[in-house]
Chain A
Amino acid sequence: ELKVEQNPLFLSMQEGKNYTIYCNYSTTSDRLYWYRQDPGKSLESLFVLLSNGAVKQEGRLMASLDTKARLSTLHITAAVHDLSATYFCAVDRPMEYGNKLVFGAGTILRVKS
Chain B
Amino acid sequence: DSGVTQTPKHLITATGQRVTLRCSPRSGDLSVYWYQQSLDQGLQFLIQYYNGEERAKGNILERFSAQQFPDLHSELNLSSLELGDSALYFCASSVGSLKDTQYFGPGTRLTVL
Contacts and interface: CB of A to CB of B under 8 A. Distances in A.
Contacts, number: 67
**Which of A40, A48, A88, A98 has its CB near the most chain B CB atoms (within 10 A)?**
A98
Contacts of A31: 99
Contacts of A99: 48, 55-56, 97-100
Interface string B69-93: 0000000000000000000101010
Contacts of B102: 33, 45, 101
A40 B43 CA distance: 13
Contacts of A87: none
Given A98-B55, A99-B48, A41 B106 contact: yes
B2 interface: yes
Given A41-B107, A42-B104, A106-B43, 4 more contacts: A41-B106, A43-B90, A97-B50, A100-B33
Interface of A: 31, 33, 35, 40-45, 48, 88, 90, 92, 94-103, 105-106
